[in-house]
Amino acid sequence: MFRFLLFPTILAVSSFGVLCLAQLNGEALKFKLAAVNLPNLDLDGPSDPYVKLYTATQGQGERHTDWQKFGQTSVKPNTLNPVWDEVFVYRYMNGTNQRWRFLVKDLDNTWLNPIDDHLGRVEMNVDDYMFQLKSSKQNGTQNLKYIQMFLTHPIGGALLVTPVFE
Ligand SMILES: [Ca+2]
Ligand SMILES: [Ca+2]
């Protein structure tokens, strides 16, 4: 009698364990970045843009978010439409309210102008990014080239997140 009861319990526990493991490991998202129509905040030619990538997990009703840096692009000198080569890998965990904050900056770092200018900022829920990515799939093939995110602070350009499938 006891044996019969025990067996389904073990099965249930082990499948729950597999589910937890899958959630803990998440899914590796790979992407590249580009930007269009960035503001020009240099006097001697176009801006020299680079991006700092931050992530946070925001609980319901939480106001404060601890942003953690998980990447930075190289600097693309003298362009308002940079295309960065780096492939970023992000550990996505479905439904955990992960957020991205991307800051686009202009490298200045000169004696006259020691602080890098802000070229724009964008925040996004990673679940929304995944939703856009998945809803763009048709007949099993990926049609989407990139997801466009409009920049604020200052308003103007846009950041393009291009998924990388390998
Ligand atoms: Ca500048
Ligand atoms: Ca500059």
- C-alpha 46 – ligand 1 centre gap (Å): 9
Does some domain include residue 11?
Answer: no
Within a domain: residue 37? yes
Q: Closest ligand to 46 CA?
A: 2
pTM of the model: 0.81
- Indicate the number of domains in the chain: 1
Write out the H or E segment, with its range, that includes residue 90: strand 88-92
User: Ligand 2 centroid vs 105 CA: distance in angstroms?
Assistant: 9
Is residue 17 assigned to a domain?
A: no
CATH of the domain at 35: 2.60.40.150
Structural domain boundaries, residue 68? 27-163
Q: Answer whether residue 55 is part of any domain.
A: yes
Q: What percent of the chain has pLDDT over 90?
A: 58
Q: Do 37 and 81 contact (CB within 8 A), yes or no?
A: yes
> What are the pLDDT digits (tens) for 74-102?
999 999 999 999 999 999 998 888 999 99
Q: CA separation (Å) from 24 to 15, 21, 54, 93, 116? A: 14, 5, 20, 7, 37
Counting ligands in written order, the one closest to the CA of 108 is: 2
Instruction: Please indicate, yes or no, if residue 44 is contained in any of the structural domains.
Output: yes
Ligand 2 ion: Cβ-proximal residues, 5 Å cutoff: 42, 48, 106, 108
Q: Is 35 within the bounds of a domain? A: yes
Neighbours of 39 (CB within 10 A): 20
Residue 1 lies in a domain: no
Q: Which ligand is nearest to the CA of 45?
A: 2
Q: What is the pLDDT of residues 26-46, one digit of tens each?
A: 899 999 999 999 999 999 899
Q: 107: helix, coil or strand?
A: coil
Spacing, Cα 69 to ligand 1 middle (Å): 23
Residue 7 domain-assigned (yes or no) = no
The answer to whether 38 and 80 have CB atoms below 8 angstroms apart is: yes
Going from the Cα of 111 to the center of ligand 1, the distance in angstroms, rounded, reads: 12
